[in-house]
Amino acid sequence: MSKHLRSKDSSISFLRIASVVAKDRVTGETTEYPESGVFVQIGLVPNAQEFEGQVAMNKRGEIETDSLGRTSVKNVYAAGDVTDSAYKQIIIAMGSGATAALTAVDDRNRME
Ligand SMILES: Cc1cc2nc3c(=O)[nH]c(=O)nc-3n(C[C@H](O)[C@H](O)[C@H](O)COP(=O)(O)OP(=O)(O)OC[C@H]3O[C@@H](n4cnc5c(N)ncnc54)[C@H](O)[C@@H]3O)c2cc1C
């Protein structure tokens, strides 16, 4: 549940959380809790479903890569949160992106 609030001169309006209504998934019973804020837990499922069956993935749905960003398919590389890398953080994703890109160039140069 939310309340519409307006500043004194009505130039700014915004929503404020007033309460959270929780539904028991087993009984269907709902309970309203007065609250002033919520944290939204978005989960840890990687957005890699469309590659299922195309590259090797682990049981968590993460794309498996070697330490250089190579996937199970030749000349296909992966980096960042969709991979089986430890710690889903920006600096990790950036580093693995650079590693995968450099590996792709290196692999290509070796082909020539
Ligand atoms: C709420 C929240 C808070 C976070 N706070 C921190 C923090 O404080 N510090 C920190 O280090 N990390 C934080 N992270 C984690 C960090 O954001 C990620 O680790 C990082 O963004 C991963 O980078 P990425 O490039 O792998 O993926 P993303 O940044 O998710 O980039 C993937 C991109 O691919 C695009 N995309 C997806 N599917 C397709 C498709 N089919 N075709 C084309 N494009 C597609 C998406 O739109 C997106 O732009 C936070 C994450 C969240 C969700």
pLDDT tens digit at each of 112 positions of the chain: 666 656 566 666 667 888 889 999 999 999 999 987 888 777 888 999 999 999 999 999 999 999 999 999 999 999 999 999 999 999 999 999 999 999 999 999 998 7
Q: Is residue 42 part of a domain?
A: no
- Contacting residues for 35 by C-beta, under 8 A, at least 6 apart: 17, 18, 19, 20
Predicted TM-score (pTM) of this structure: 0.77
Gyration radius from the chain CA atoms: 23
| 94 alpha carbon – ligand 1 mean position (Å) | 10
Query: What pLDDT is attached to residue 92?
Result: 96
* Parent domain of 64: 49-111
Q: Let me know whether 54 and 99 are in one domain.
A: yes
CATH of the domain at 80: 3.50.50.60
| 81 alpha carbon – ligand 1 mean position (Å) | 7
| 47 alpha carbon – ligand 1 mean position (Å) | 10
Tell me how many domains the chain contains.
2
Atom 44 of ligand 1, residue of closest alpha carbon: 47
Q: Is residue 26 part of a domain?
A: yes
Query: What pLDDT is attached to residue 31?
Result: 94
Ligand 1 within 6 A of CB of 80: yes
Ligand 1 within 6 A of CB of 93: yes
Query: What pLDDT is attached to residue 53?
Result: 96
Question: Which is nearest to 85 in space by CA: 109, 58, 53, 112?
Answer: 58
Q: Let me know whether 14 and 57 are in one domain.
A: no
Q: Is residue 83 part of a domain?
A: yes
H-only helix segments in 1-112: 90-111
Atom 1 of ligand 1, residue of closest alpha carbon: 42
Q: How many Å apart are CA 69 and CA 63, to the nearest integer? A: 10
Query: What pLDDT is attached to residue 88?
Result: 92
Query: What pLDDT is attached to residue 10?
Result: 64
